[in-house]
Chains A and B, each alone.
Chain A
């Protein structure tokens, strides 16, 4: 993959209007940085560096502080996500019920490991501390929907089904 700054700069320009709405909603309200970053991530899918620098200027906050907050919380991402974000639960209940095997199976199927995105941009694989659906362990969440209890085969099938639907609906996959 080449340098992404150009793309990120374009992202900032494209979404400027939406981003300005966020700024005007929070400007002058002390202590809103976390909420601002949540909204910005909602718009851009992640927190691109040019956007963070721009935010700093607009809000009068040092970029270093924005970066500090963005890297402190696990919700914030500094790299783009795929169309489908797969979150594999690593909670205690999932762990004792074989979460590791689910991760191995999904990871093998998509040929990426946790934190990575597939080349076609369809899936991002991530692990999370606990989704709070412990009675369904082991669980994964894909774009907000929880699936469980999983078996390695079952998890792979869910991912394959989504991929099939994506490629059939056509056009959207790069």
Chain B
């Protein structure tokens, strides 16, 4: 018997440290001979903290929302009595839950299964066999041919064929070449790469080493966000362990192949997700993009041929080499083979990380795996692709998730963030939110991006304040085209996408703001006001006590009233009004 505690960032935030401590105490107190291992995130973030019990026949019992009291129960009943604790059980081998059983896990194959800080765990799952194969049995061309046949496309967003980049880097002759892993996951709403690095760092190292073997590079660099301290720590441990086993360093697996990996921490700039900006940042400069060509495969880090792929792309590589390209491209669609990891968040019941075959409808991801909308509200849109993407409305929920179909909706696949929005989300505000982000993150090199995004943001802010004018929508649309055309890199070229898609699918909301000075979702503060219905209010005084500015008054057990002059529209009164009275309303 063995215990496994989810120790990803989300697990830790939900209290996994306390759970581990109490598990260790129970083991000690009961004098049991039991292993309690840590593991990465299995993706069920909505059920954290998670605790798995693996019985002697290998059956896994997964417990969710575990508390220290639950730990005692699990020890009492399951570990010492062999009776599962139903109250906390979220999945067993016989009763897999919809969240897990709807997935196909390639990139996430080891996340939530192995201890990411132990290389033996990774090797027990077949880890580093692909590297062995690539070093001992395959030529560079054969590796690239496998990747080409698999049809693997870049998982960072643009979906560029991976083999093509590798081939270009191979063909450009140079005594020094580099393999770079882009782990600068900057999209707000995306956390796939963080989970992968925290849960299975070796798969990324192995993928990079195979890439190094294919293009003829001896140095790999992981450019990772400084905001991901746990991912950095686990990568450092993994690199050290791989070096000890001669899986990195000089003479890998006793061959002539040398390859080592360094970590460089990003310093917080979204634009560094762009290849040429990332290279500038690696070189210690301001992370500003430059014109392509030359492409990094021709002239990258210090002017040398450099191959840059995303975390998830590299994690797929060992699987493809060991299982075969045919196995990989039998999944997904013709043009988008394989699987894709998505980070489900926002107004969704079961948020977390899911990996599904390409081509399944969006509806299935959101309503089957994610179990639909929180509080059973109505679905309004799903935002894909972060600040470069767009909002996909309900009528397009049957769109298959593959690169080309998502692009046709006006959004992009992006790195895999899916933020679900319901009827209480204002789409003009969402557009404003993203523009605010891209405006801040614009590096300032291109005028259209630097000033255009600012001017577009000003118009959106005006609309949200109720000062929108006729013609604003058309003005936004025409500026969007100019920003797209006048920007050098992907940030500016895609910055207007959230505005364009919200206008395309939710034009009525823009018009309601501009013409009727109303926010249909009741979010834009300038356009709403809070009231107390005197018929329904029983004068319990909860709202008056909780109001942060003290603008609610009334006698005990008599209807209360809000002073509109002093109200800051924080919504606290609405939140604390007991449901049985339901007296606070928004207009």
A interface residues, Cβ below 8 angstroms from B: 30-35, 37-38, 68-69, 72-76, 90-93, 95-97, 101, 104-105, 108, 128-137, 139, 144-148, 152
A130-B188, A134-B419, A136-B13 in contact; A97/B347 too (CB < 8 A)?
yes
Does the CB pair B351–A145 fall under 8 Å? no
Separation of A134 and B383 alpha carbons in the complex (Å): 13
Does the CB pair B190–A134 fall under 8 Å? yes
Closest 6 CB pairs of A and B: A135-B45, A73-B267, A134-B345, A33-B284, A91-B188, A93-B345
Q: In chain A, what residue has the closest Cβ to B424?
A: A96
Report chain A residues within 8 Å CB of B284: 30-35, 69
Does the CB pair B346–A133 fall under 8 Å? no
Report chain B residues within 8 Å CB of A72: 269, 286-287, 443
Report chain B residues within 8 Å CB of A129: 186, 188, 268, 270, 437, 440-441
Q: How far is the CB of A29 from chain B (nearest CB, A)?
A: 9
Main secondary structure of the interface of B (DSSP, over half): mixed
B204 interfacial contact with A, CB 8 Å: no
A31-B283, A31-B284, A74-B267 in contact; A101/B12 too (CB < 8 A)?
no
Q: How far is the CB of A107 from chain B (nearest CB, A)?
A: 11
Report chain B residues within 8 Å CB of A152: 570, 572
Partner of A96, one of B46, B267, B346: B346
Partner of B190, one of A32, A68, A132, A148: A132
Q: In chain B, what residue has the closest Cβ to A93?
A: B345
Q: In chain B, what residue has the closest Cβ to A69?
A: B286
Q: In chain B, what residue has the closest Cβ to A41?
A: B267
With A31-B283, A137-B346 known, 8 other A-B pairs at CB within 8 A are: A92-B419, A93-B351, A96-B346, A133-B13, A134-B345, A134-B346, A136-B10, A136-B13
Among B194, B227, B433, find the residue whose CB has the most chain A CB atoms closer than 10 A: B227
Report chain B residues within 8 Å CB of A74: 267-269
Partner of B9, one of A38, A96, A133: A133
Report chain A residues within 8 Å CB of B287: 72-73
Partner of B267, one of A30, A75, A144, A145: A75
Q: In chain A, what residue has the closest Cβ to B281?
A: A34
Does the CB pair A92–B269 fall under 8 Å? no
Interface residues of B in 392-444 (CB under 8 A from A): 417, 419, 421, 425, 430, 433-434, 437, 440-441, 443
User: Digit string of B272-300 for contact with A (CB within 8 Å is 1, else 0)?
Assistant: 00000000011111110000000000000
Separation of A105 and B64 alpha carbons in the complex (Å): 30
Q: How far is the CB of A122 from chain B (nearest CB, A)?
A: 21
Separation of A137 and B189 alpha carbons in the complex (Å): 10
Partner of B265, one of A35, A95, A104, A139: A35
Q: How far is the CB of A22 from chain B (nearest CB, A)?
A: 14
